[in-house]
C-alpha cells in the first residue's frame, strides 16, 4: 500500500511544485504590471487593478491544475485590467504545453478577446489600437506555438524513450533465448559425444565379458579402450555441466568435428572391436564446406553408435559419395541380428540427426530391408 500511495502521490507533488514556482514567477510579473498601471493609469482604477492583481495571482494554481478553466477565466479578467495580462499569457503557454491544440487555441482566443476589450476602454498612449492589438496577437500566437512545440517535443522524447526501453527488453529477451538455444545445442551435441564414448566403452567391456579366453594382449587393449573412453566421457560430461551452469554468454562451445576427424573416429570404433568397412566416393573432399562437413561427421558418428548399441559384433559398411553442385550422401548399413550391449530404447539420437540435417537443408532416413539389414542414409545439399 505504501508503494501504491507513493506512486499516486508523485504527480500531485509535481503539480504542487509547479503551481508554487509558477505563482511566484507570474506574481512578480503581475506586480510589475500593477506598478506600471498605477504610474500611467487614472487613480480611479487603482482599487480595481489591485483587486484583479490579487485575483490573477490566485488564479495561477487553477491554471496549473485545470488549464482550460483557469485560462478562460484569465482571458475574461484581462478585459478589465492590464495587470491580468501576465496571467493570461501564462495560461496560453501552459495550456499549449500540457493540453491538445484545440483547448489551447480556445484559451488563446479568450485571452485575445479580453485584450481587445481592454484596448478599447484603456488604450495604450502613443500607440494606435490596431498596431497594439497586432503586437498582442503576435505575442499570444508565439506563446501558443512555443507551448505546442514543447508538448510535441516532450511526446516525441517520451515515445523514443519508451521505444528504447522496449528495444532493450526485446534485446534482453533475444539474448536470453540465444543463451538457452545455445545451451540446448551444446546439450544435444554432448549427448551425441557421450553416447559415442559410452558405446565404445560398452563394446570393449562386452568383448572382455564374452571372450574371456582371448589373448592377454587383446584383453589389455580392450581394457585400455575402456579406461580411455571412461576418462574421456567424464571429461566431456564435466565440460557440458560447466557450460550449462555458466551464465557467461561468451562461453565457448565444445569444438565441432568434421570429416577430417573421421579417421580418428573410425580408429576408436575399431579399437573397441567394431568391424567397419569404408567406401569413399567423394569427388572433391577438400571442397566440402565446414558446416556440411560437421553435419556429415555427426551422421557417421551417430550411425556407428547406433550400430554398436543394436547390432553388436555385426560388420558395418560406411559409404560416402557426392560432388559439388549435388548432394553429399552418407550411407551406413549393418545387419540387425546380434546381441545388444546396452539395454533400453534407441533414444533421441536419430531424431536429433534428422533435425540437424533439416537445418542444413537435407534429410536423414532409415529403414530395415527384407534381408534384415539396417540402412541409415543422410542426404545433404552440397553447394558449388
Q: Helix, strand, coil: what percent of the chain each, to 5?
A: 70, 10, 20
For the chain, the residue count is: 384
pLDDT score recorded for residue 143: 93
Cα(245)–Cα(211) distance, rounded to whole angstroms? 42
Per-residue pLDDT reduced to its tens digit, 114-132? 999 988 888 887 889 899 8
Is residue 296 predicted with pLDDT exceeding 50?
yes
Mean pLDDT, the chain, integer: 80
Mean pLDDT of 294-322: 88
Q: How much of the chain exceeds pLDDT 90, in percent?
A: 30
Lowest mean pLDDT among 21-25, 135-139, 340-344: 340-344
Mean pLDDT of 284-292: 84
Q: Which of 15-24, 128-137, 181-190 is predicted most confidently? A: 128-137
Per the CB < 8 A criterion, the answer to whether 375 and 367 are in contact is: yes
**Burial of 377 by CB count in 10 Å (0-12 exposed, 13-18 middle, 19+ buried)?**
middle
- Tell me the three cell numbers of residue 242: 560447466
> Phi and psi of 349, rounded to 5°?
-60, -50
Candidates 257, 261, 267, 269; CA nearest to 202 is 269
Domains of the chain, first to last: 13-169 (no CATH), 259-384 (3.30.565.10)
pLDDT bucket at 378, cuts 50 / 70 / 90:
very high
Of the two residues 241 and 1, the one the predictor is more confident about is: 241
pLDDT score recorded for residue 207: 65
Mean pLDDT of 176-199: 69
> Phi and psi of 180, rounded to 5°?
-65, -40
Is residue 222 predicted with pLDDT exceeding 90?
no
Helix (H, G, I), strand (E, B) or coil at 271: helix
The full DSSP string for 214-242 is S-HHHHHHHHHHHHHHHHHHHHHHHHHHH
Per-residue pLDDT reduced to its tens digit, 54-66? 998 999 999 889 9
End-to-end CA distance of the chain: 68
pLDDT score recorded for residue 209: 67
| Beta bridge partner(s), residue 365 | 377
Q: How much of the chain exceeds pLDDT 70, in percent?
A: 78
Is residue 184 predicted with pLDDT exceeding 90?
no
Helix (H, G, I), strand (E, B) or coil at 283: coil
Q: Which of 158-162, 212-216, 222-226, 305-309 is predicted most confidently? A: 158-162
Of the two residues 275 and 37, the one the predictor is more confident about is: 275
Lowest mean pLDDT among 42-46, 250-254, 264-268, 286-290: 250-254
Mean pLDDT of 313-323: 91
Contacts of the segment 101-105: beta carbons below 8 A, 24+ positions apart: 101/148, 103/67, 103/68, 104/67, 104/144, 104/147, 104/148, 105/144
Is residue 309 predicted with pLDDT exceeding 70?
yes
Per-residue pLDDT reduced to its tens digit, 101-110? 999 999 999 9
Per the CB < 8 A criterion, the answer to whether 324 and 383 are in contact is: yes
The full DSSP string for 163-207 is HHHHHHHHHHHHHHHHHHHHHHHHHHHHHHHHHHHHHHHHHHHHH
pLDDT score recorded for residue 210: 67
Helix (H, G, I), strand (E, B) or coil at 123: coil
Per-residue pLDDT reduced to its tens digit, 74-101? 998 998 888 999 999 999 999 999 999 9
pTM: 0.47
Cα(321)–Cα(341) distance, rounded to whole angstroms? 31
Dihedral angle computed from the Cα positions of residues 209, 211, 213 and 216, in that order, rounded to the nearest 10 degrees = -80
Lowest mean pLDDT among 44-53, 187-196, 232-241, 343-352: 343-352
Is residue 341 predicted with pLDDT exceeding 70?
no
Is residue 49 predicted with pLDDT exceeding 80?
yes
pLDDT bucket at 1, cuts 50 / 70 / 90:
very low
pLDDT score recorded for residue 345: 43
Cα(99)–Cα(20) distance, rounded to whole angstroms? 20
Amino acid at each position: 500500500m505504501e508503494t501504491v500511495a507513493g506512486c499516486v502521490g508523485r504527480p500531485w507533488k509535481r503539480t504542487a511544485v509547479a503551481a508554487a514556482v509558477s505563482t511566484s514567477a507570474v506574481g512578480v510579473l503581475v506586480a510589475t504590471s500593477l506598478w506600471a498601471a498605477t504610474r500611467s493609469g487614472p487613480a480611479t482604477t487603482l482599487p480595481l487593478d489591485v483587486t484583479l492583481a490579487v485575483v490573477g495571482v490566485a488564479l495561477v494554481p487553477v491554471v496549473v491544475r485545470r488549464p482550460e478553466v483557469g485560462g478562460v477565466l484569465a482571458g475574461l479578467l484581462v478585459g478589465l485590467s492590464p495587470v491580468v495580462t501576465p496571467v493570461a499569457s501564462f495560461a496560453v503557454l501552459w495550456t499549449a504545453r500540457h493540453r491538445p491544440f484545440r483547448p489551447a487555441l480556445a484559451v488563446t482566443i479568450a485571452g485575445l478577446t479580453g485584450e481587445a476589450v481592454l484596448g478599447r476602454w484603456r488604450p495604450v498612449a502613443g500607440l494606435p489600437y490596431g498596431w497594439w492589438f497586432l503586437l498582442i496577437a503576435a505575442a499570444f500566437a508565439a506563446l501558443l506555438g512555443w507551448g505546442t512545440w514543447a508538448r510535441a517535443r516532450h511526446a516525441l522524447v517520451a515515445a523514443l524513450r519508451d521505444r528504447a526501453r522496449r528495444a532493450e527488453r526485446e534485446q534482453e529477451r533475444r539474448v536470453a533465448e540465444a543463451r538457452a538455444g545455445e545451451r540446448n545445442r551444446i546439450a544435444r551435441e554432448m549427448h551425441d559425444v557421450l553416447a559415442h564414448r559410452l558405446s565404445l566403452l560398452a563394446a570393449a567391456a562386452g568383448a572382455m565379458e564374452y571372450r574371456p579366453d582371448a589373448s592377454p594382449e587383446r584383453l589389455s587393449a580392450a581394457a585400455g579402450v575402456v579406461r580411455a573412453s571412461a576418462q574421456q566421457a567424464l571429461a566431456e560430461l564435466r565440460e557440458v555441466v560447466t557450460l550449462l551452469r555458466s551464465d557467461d554468454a561468451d562461453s565457448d562451445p565444445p569444438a565441432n568435428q568434421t570429416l577430417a576427424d573421421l579417421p580418428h573416429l573410425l580408429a576408436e570404433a575399431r579399437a573397441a572391436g567394431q568391424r567397419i568397412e569404408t567406401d569413399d566416393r567423394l569427388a572433391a573432399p577438400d571442397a566440402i564446406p565446414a558446416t556440411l562437413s560437421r553435419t556429415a561427421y555427426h551422421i557417421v558418428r551417430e550411425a556407428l553408435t547406433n550400430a554398436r548399441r543394436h547390432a553388436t559384433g555385426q560388420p558395418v559398411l560406411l559409404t560416402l559419395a557426392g560432388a559439388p553442385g549435388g548432394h553429399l550422401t552418407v550411407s551406413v548399413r549393418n545387419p540387425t541380428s546380434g546381441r545388444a550391449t546396452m539395454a533400453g530404447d534407441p533414444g533421441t539420437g536419430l531424431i536429433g540427426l534428422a533435425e540437424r540435417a533439416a537445418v542444413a537443408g537435407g534429410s536423414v532416413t532409415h529403414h530395415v530391408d527384407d534381408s534384415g539389414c539396417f540402412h541409415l542414409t543422410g542426404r545433404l545439399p552440397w553447394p558449388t
